[in-house]
Structure 1
Amino acid sequence: MESVLQIIFTLIIIAEFIIGNLSNGFIVLINCIEWVSKRELSSVDQILIILAISRIGLIWEILLSQFVVLYHPATFVTGTGLRTIIFSWTVTNHFSLWLATILSVFYLLKIASFSSPAFLYLKWRVNKVILMILLGTLVFLFLNLLKINIHFKEWLYQCERNTSWNFSVSDFATFSVSVKFTTTVFSLTPFTVALISFLLLIFSLWKHLQKMQLNYKGQRDPRTKAHINALKIVISFLLLYASFFLSMLMSWLSELYQNELVEMLSQTIGVFYPSCHSLLLILGNPKLRQASLSVAAKVWAKR
């Protein structure tokens, strides 16, 4: 039964890997074409490019890590190989989470409507706010890598005290639990910021929707439909973001209790977020949606 589930999870991860690369690659390609042709790019498009690139890196990192664990476990015997895998995953995961959080803050400041002076102050300086958050995230990344490096050196010292590199499974499991716990803790901040931003944006859209339904023709009005679609997309973003954070918790628990099926499930959910979230970004962005429909029409015409 376990082998069947492992095969199913592997096939799902491969499908998510393909979808994730296509969707994120499409976002990068379309925005880069516009950048070259118009010599300028909006703030949201710049965020989307960096976010898509970080997600491509994260998806490849997850897949390659699984491949190394299954087929080349000797890589973990060398400190350099293990350090490279852990640090590269930490960096790509950091930017994937924080850039999605920055995108949620950007949408909140651009779309939401509140009369608070503090909110209006941030709304007028949205580009500076985004830049300050982005620079501030580098501090979190540095502290995260520093903490992981401490765990790595402690584990390495334990290995050297034993017979060369023949470390026990329990030693590595303890090290892995420590690293994943540290990453999960550092991920709480972007998740909390994104959660607050999404909830405020949902509340603002819902209030605006109620006013529009009273003043216009209800759900038949085009503007009402646009706000309903925006609500659906924002709620979908929130659920996908929450699912990724849940996958990180599951991954930590799977290491803690040594459960391979839970680990594979967490990996499946983990790849689902950067793949499907990018699809929603394409559907929610008029330029990307139009470009995707144009590509789909050309492909269909050639059949």
Structure 2
Amino acid sequence: MNPEGHSQNHLPYIIIIILELGIGTFMNLFVIYVVYRDFIKTKTLRSGDQILLCLGISNMFYGFLVFVSLLDYFCSLGIFSRIHTAYIYLYLFLFAISSCAWLSASLGFFYFVKISTFGSGLLSWVKKNITSVVPRLLLGILLVSLFNSVLSSLFIIFSPAPPRNNTGRFVSIASVFSQSRTQFIYSTITLSIGSFMVLFSTTFYLVVYLMKHSYRMKKGVQTPNNEHLRSFDKVVWRMMHSLLFYGIYYLLMLIIYFTVITKMESGFWLSYLIFSLFPVVQVVLLVLANPRLKAALKDTFLCLHLRESVCKPIQ
């Protein structure tokens, strides 16, 4: 696998990655804007908004790192000609992956605690004290991500075939990653597998819980509120879509990692495309599944449409 050189075979992957970065940046900025706008109005930052804000910032940071690597690749800036600079970038990249993954898991855990009912025990205490638990949870995620990124970076650096640049010539981060792609793949899987299990299990439980609750409402003695049932069914379908996305994404990621990347000339760019896809699709699903964010997005496009209509010159 040779990622160096502006091969035409890599161009479709690069174009898709750039589109992903553009869409992801817009959507994450939109989420941050909505959270900040509501904070200005209410003077309080709700627990769920704290997670959304951190997740948006983390995704933006991740997108920035991907953009830097693409810029270095196209413009031959030589940012990573010094291997220590490449190691610093590698650590930041792994930190961004870990923080995005665990913040996504914390968001799933937050909805799990808020929606579910618990009789007693630890989860019942967490539900009652969720306002004070969330800041501690976010701090814990920061520390875990910092620690895990250190271990993963050391695993790559001290591997039997660490990335090196003994020629002194220009080298992009693509070549640095390709030299230690096996260690990098195992590191990213290790960083994300725990958070994925938390996210998948909490989302799966919520889907089952909401489906059972909807079934009990339909079979209730009293006549159910059809409007309430329809809104409830929408929540179930949104959760099922999220669950389906997480399952397909990780299954596809593992299949491609172990059966395609090591055998394809464009394996590096394919892996980069998959890495860049997760935050984008996740934030899109998040906006579509959140009534407040979805309504704000509709209002934004409506205002833009009205502004274009007003500013359009009369024929």
- Structure 1: gaps spanning 5 or more residues: none
Q: Which of 20, 25, 30 is the aligned partner of 1:26?
A: 30
Partner of 2:21: 17
Mean CA deviation greater in 222-231 or 246-255: 246-255
CA distance in 2, matches of 1:268, 1:164: 29
Q: Of 41, 44, 57, which aligns to 1:53?
A: 57
- Cα deviation per residue 1:86-141 (whole Å; 9 max; x = unaligned)? 12211222221111111101101111235564543332233344344333334432
1:231 aligns with 2:231: no
CA distance in 2, matches of 1:86, 1:255: 23
Deviation digits for residues 227-260 of structure 1 (CA, Å, limit 9, x no counterpart):
2111122122223334554565467548972534
User: Contact 1:114 / 1:204 at 8 angstroms: preserved in 2?
Assistant: no
Distance 1:245 1:77, change over 3 A: farther
**Whole-Å Cα distance in 1 between the matches of residues 98 and 237 of structure 2?**
26
Tell whether 2:90 aligns with 1:86.
yes
CA gap 1:118/1:44 in 2 versus in 1, 3 angstroms: same
Distance in 1 (alpha carbons) for counterparts of 2:91 and 2:254: 19
Q: Are residues 54 and 260 of structure 1, via their aligned partners in 2, closer, same or farther at CA, if it must alter by over 3 Å?
A: farther
Take 1:129 and 1:27, find their aligned partners in 2: how far apart are those partners? 22
Q: Partners in 1 of 2:16 and 2:148 — Cα distance?
A: 30
Q: In 2, are the aligned partners of 1:176 and 1:255 still within 8 Å (CA)?
A: no
Distance in 2 of aligned mates of 1:261 and 1:217: 59
What TM-score results when the alignment is normalised by the length of structure 1? 0.83
1:267 maps to what in 2? Answer: 272
Task: Tell me the TM-score normalized by structure 2.
Answer: 0.80
Give 1:174 deviation, angstroms: 5.1
RMSD of aligned residue pairs (Cα, Å): 3.4
Mapped partners of 1:171, 1:11: distance in 2:
21
One-letter code of the match for 1:24? N
Q: Does 2:276 match 1:282? A: no
**Offset at 1:224?**
1.4
Residues in 1 aligned to 2:20 and 2:161: alpha-carbon distance in whole angstroms: 38
Structure-2 residue corresponding to 1:154 = 158
Q: Paired residue for 1:206?
A: 211
The code of the aligned residue for 1:213 comes to K
Q: Match for 1:176 among 176, 181, 191? A: 181
How is 1:81-160 mapped onto 2 (pairs within 5 angstroms)? 81-115=85-119, 117-151=121-155, 153-154=157-158
How many pairs does the alignment contain? 299
Indicate how the Cα distance of structure 1 residues 252 and 137 shifts in structure 2: closer, same or farther if over 3 A, else same. farther
SS at match of 1:195: helix
**Letter of the structure 1 residue corresponding to residue 291 of structure 2:** P
Q: Measure, in 2, the Cα distance between the counterparts of 1:172 and 1:138.
A: 25
Letter in 2 for 1:191: F
